[in-house]
Amino acid sequence: MTKLSDTQAIILSAAAQREDRIALPLPESLRGGAAAKVVGAMLAKGFLEEVDADTRRGEPVWRETGDGHGLTLVATDAGLAAIGIEPEDAPTAPTGADEPPSDAPAPDTSTETEGAPKARPPREGTKQATLIAMLRAPGGATLGEIVAATGWLSHTARGAMSGALKKKLGLTITSEKVDGRGRVYRII
């Protein structure tokens, strides 16, 4: 598993919560040379990529090229995997495994709810899978237990519950204060 700095995890978590995966704006505390160094390292590792910014659509600009075009930063599949999130467009089965024969009519998808999260089981052995298993356990899990099991910092664990589990996977997470244990989170 790739070791990320807190700043890198924050940047990737913020990008994962956006449909377009844009990693801007950077955290307020990250400016100038420090920003260039962190982003440069993430570009080198393949966690981020620079793409042309569509300023007409209001996409933020990371830097401008010599010819006046703006570039924005977008989280890659590798970047999302580094924080334990499987990209939505990643294949879950070999191509053609579940496809109907070419002469069969196309399935009717009009009954699907638009905007509904795509439910997909996480890959085995990932931190996200560990988090889900802990939250599905009868006793749930405290933030301290999640941090100990995943190696994440507490803000990353909370972000994963909010972004990856609630928003991306559509899971319902509850929390309650339990005497002697503290706040316990559960998937219901």
Domain housing 72: 1-90
Overall average pLDDT of the 93-98 stretch: 42
Determine the Cα–Cα distance for residues 175 and 165; give it in Å rounded to an integer.
14
The pLDDT of residue 180: 92
The pLDDT of residue 156: 93
Query: Does one domain contain both 1 and 53?
Result: yes
Run of H or E including 135: helix 127-136
Which band of pLDDT confidence, cut at 50, 70 and 90, is reported for residue 166?
A: confident
Query: Does one domain contain both 83 and 129?
Result: no
Query: Does one domain contain both 33 and 82?
Result: yes
Coil, strand or helix at 127: helix
Query: Does one domain contain both 80 and 123?
Result: no
Query: Does one domain contain both 12 and 78?
Result: yes
The pLDDT of residue 2: 67
Asked if the model's pLDDT at residue 17 lies above 80, the reply is yes
Q: pLDDT exceeding 90 applies to what percent of the chain?
A: 29
Assess if residue 139 is contained within a domain.
yes
Determine the Cα–Cα distance for residues 120 and 117; give it in Å rounded to an integer.
9
Asked if the model's pLDDT at residue 97 lies above 80, the reply is no
- The DSSP secondary structure of 11-56, one letter per residue, reads HHHHHHTSTT-B--SPPTT--HHHHHHHHHHHHHTTSEEEEE--GG
Query: Does one domain contain both 69 and 133?
Result: no
Query: Does one domain contain both 2 and 67?
Result: yes
Q: pLDDT exceeding 70 applies to what percent of the chain?
A: 80
Asked if the model's pLDDT at residue 99 lies above 60, the reply is no
Overall average pLDDT of the 92-107 stretch: 46
pLDDT tens string 119-158: 556 677 889 889 999 999 999 999 999 999 999 999 999 9
Assess if residue 105 is contained within a domain.
no
Identify the CATH number of the domain in which residue 8 sits: 1.10.10
Asked if the model's pLDDT at residue 113 lies above 70, the reply is no
Give pTM, 2 decimals.
0.46
Query: Does one domain contain both 2 and 83?
Result: yes
For residues 25 and 10, the answer to whether their CB atoms sit within 8 Å is no
Query: Does one domain contain both 14 and 62?
Result: yes
The pLDDT of residue 93: 39
Query: Does one domain contain both 83 and 125?
Result: no
Rg of the Cα atoms in the chain: 19
Domain final residue, candidates 70, 90, 110: 90
Least confident of 8-22, 70-84, 111-125: 111-125
Query: Does one domain contain both 86 and 2?
Result: yes
What value does the mean pLDDT of the chain take?
A: 80
The tally of domains found in the chain comes to: 2
Query: Does one domain contain both 11 and 56?
Result: yes
- The DSSP secondary structure of 55-86, one letter per residue, reads GGGT---SEE-TTS-EEEEEE-HHHHHHTT--
The pLDDT of residue 181: 92
The pLDDT of residue 70: 87
Residue with token string 């190696």:
151
